[in-house]
Chains A and B, each alone.
Chain A
Amino acid sequence: MTRHPTELELARAAAGDRCEDLVEHLRWCPRCRTTVADYGWLQGEMARTLAAEAERAPVSEPDWVGLRARLQSPRPTGAVGRRAAALSLAAVVGLVLIVPIVMVGGNRARTMAPRLEDVLAPRAPVAVMGDGRVETPACRPAGGLRHTQRVSLPFVPPPTPPEPQV
């Protein structure tokens, strides 16, 4: 074996599953030998710990009367339960299938079809009025723009950084 075995191979070796190569490797490699010993120790310790914990487990007295009462009561999962489960499943499948179709279909129709008012009266560019108001043809009666004077916004230079003081 030219490489170190993996941890899983070593854990398997500790459980007794070893090939000749691995045995040979363990003969000269103290690190892998230690890992195998760790796993061997762990196995024994787990068996002892679990047995001790099981012995300490709080085991209640068998309650035959309660169990018999449950055995004699009707089963909760009858025809009604199955029908309710089938209805719930159908409702979920319906929601999963129908909701996306409705949503995607509606969005597609809305994005693909041009609006009526855009076709009849195409939008003009936004105009900034002299008093600072922003007007578009959609928010004022047609022809109103013709009588107002268009002005440019005054140029405001960007603020300059302060001069470094020596």
Chain B
Amino acid sequence: MDTRVSERTIARAVQGDEASQRVIYETYHARASRLAYLLLRDALDTEEVVQDAFVYALRNLVAYDGGRASFWTWLRVILVSRCRNKRRRKRLPRVSLEQLVADGQEPRDSQELGDPPRALARRDTQRSVYEALDEISPGARDALILRYYEGLPYATIGEALSCTEAAARQRVLHGKRQLRDVLRRRGATAGIELGTAQSAEVT
């Protein structure tokens, strides 16, 4: 995931060098697409938003300050903003995991291939968590994705979501609370026991 382009490449791209612009685009395209897909859950929207974000970034490359943040940090702010705009304009379609599985996008985990019951349990748990993420508020979901997928500190989450660090922290906490409530509600039907099995480990 640690993909980055050199400052020299960016400097050349600012001057209009097409080859450097292409290097930047191809370096960050996959990473941007994955993040946008988690935020939007729609392949077509993802493609559109990623292209939009790159068009904006490459046109406004002069505004990028390499001494302040990495290029990915700058691009991510643009991308997250575009994703949120897209979602505001269009109601977020909800794709069930059953549909994804039917489409042949089965979860794969090489470590669990030799242990079918464990693999099944893991898949069920991931399915439940992923579906539960759909049921929480969009702002909290964005914050959770940036926190637990991108691993960002609260200050950077705030920058990406146009809010303060404290507000970003609250969004993450409220997101976790909502997620826990959804999973607990579903627990009765899905057999999710949350982390009660590990409760003894925490002292």
Contact = CB atoms under 8 A, between A and B. Distances in A.
B148 A67 contact: no
Interface string B114-135: 0000000000011001100100
B196 A43 contact: no
Nearest to B122: A48
Contacts of B174: 8
Interface in A32-55: 33-34, 36-43, 45-55
> Secondary structure at chain A's binding surface: helix, strand, loop or mixed?
helix
Interface string B17-47: 0100110011001100111011000010011
B155 to A, nearest CB: 15
Interface size class of A (residues with CB under 8 A): 35 or more
Given A46-B144, A70-B55, A33 B199 contact: yes
A3 interface: no
Nearest to B201: A37
A73 to B, nearest CB: 9
Contact of B33 (A12, A34, A42, A59): A59
Contacts of B164: none
Given A37-B198, A63-B51, A46 B129 contact: yes
Given A12-B173, A26-B202, A57-B33, A40 B47 contact: no
B194 interface: yes
A146 to B, nearest CB: 73
Nearest to A64: B22
Contacts of B54: 67
Contacts of B203: 26-27, 33
- Most chain A CB neighbours (cut-off 10 Å) among B26, B34, B105, B174: B34
A40 B202 contact: yes
Contacts of B202: 26, 33, 36-37, 40
A50 B149 contact: yes
Contacts of A62: 25-26, 29-30
Given A26-B202, A37-B199, A63-B51, A49 B130 contact: yes
A41 B34 CA distance: 24
B165 to A, nearest CB: 14
A165 B47 CA distance: 82
A115 interface: no
B179 interface: yes
Contacts of B21: 68, 71
